[in-house]
Amino acid sequence: MKSIYIISLALVFALLSCNNPNETKKLKLEKKQAKRPLTITPSKTIPISLNDSTTEMLLRKGRALTTKMQITFKSELLKAIQRGDMADAIGFCNEKAMMISDSASYAEQAVIRRLALKNRNPENRMNEQETRIYKDFVLSWISKTPMKPRIQLSADHHPVYYAPITMQPLCLNCHGSLEKDINPNVAAKIKELYPNDKAVDFKQVDMRGMWAITFSEYYIN
């Protein structure tokens, strides 16, 4: 059963990158993290036109970043579970997930986020434009048409990579039904750490949310 929980939580929270063992850098990052929403100011901004070739380049970068985030966060999450149990791993996510995400964002010169209408962390809520894009993904999902990642222009003319996040069967262990799927100890820990949690009562085939990666170093003409 514990192995199921390990795989489950790795899938549910899959994201992020950059494990930073240096305590001094860690403290600096935590101080930066307190400033929300996160902004990245690159040393050099590259002007581009959003044509077929640049769009494909940004899609490749977006796919690579989300894959890297998933692998790195899974590794850190498994270490947390090995030190305790699934409830402890939720505590790890509460304390470290945003810090790891911010670390990856600074390293990659891109603001990396996971967004959801039914969010667990309030920092993952969507604005109006993001909600419209997410609804487009949902409509594609309902109609069983491919939900392809896309590049959209932000209000300040930076390209943003969007890609859907869907539920997997084992994700139900912390995002499923409170009555049927989530262990009471885990549910209690979620309630303790996220008193306004909305990210429950999903079914295994539901849309969970979406990635949003803002490429701050590029400026669209």
- Could you report the per-residue pLDDT of 148-189, keeping only the tens digit for each? 999 999 999 999 999 998 887 767 778 889 888 888 988 998
The predicted structure's pLDDT at residue 209: 93
The predicted structure's pLDDT at residue 205: 84
For the chain, list residues with pLDDT below 50: 1-34
Instruction: Give the number of residues written for the chain.
Output: 221
Task: Give how many domains the chain has, as a whole number.
Answer: 1
Domain that holds residue 133: 2-16+23-220
The predicted structure's pLDDT at residue 35: 54
The predicted structure's pLDDT at residue 17: 33
Bin 157: left if φ > 0, else alpha if -120 < ψ < 50, else beta.
left
Contact 105, 112 (CB under 8 A): yes
The predicted structure's pLDDT at residue 88: 74
Contact 186, 180 (CB under 8 A): no
pTM, 2 dp: 0.79
- Sequence-separated (6 or more) residues with CB below 8 Å from residue 5: 81, 85, 86, 173
User: What 3-state DSSP class applies to 141?
Assistant: helix
Residue-wise pLDDT for 54-75, tens only, equals 999 999 999 999 988 878 777 7
- Exposure string over 80-112, b if 16+ CB within 10 A, otherwise e: bbeeebbbebbebbbebbbbbbbbbbbebbbbb
Q: How far apart are CA 180 and CA 183, in angstroms?
A: 8
The predicted structure's pLDDT at residue 36: 64
The predicted structure's pLDDT at residue 91: 76
The predicted structure's pLDDT at residue 19: 37
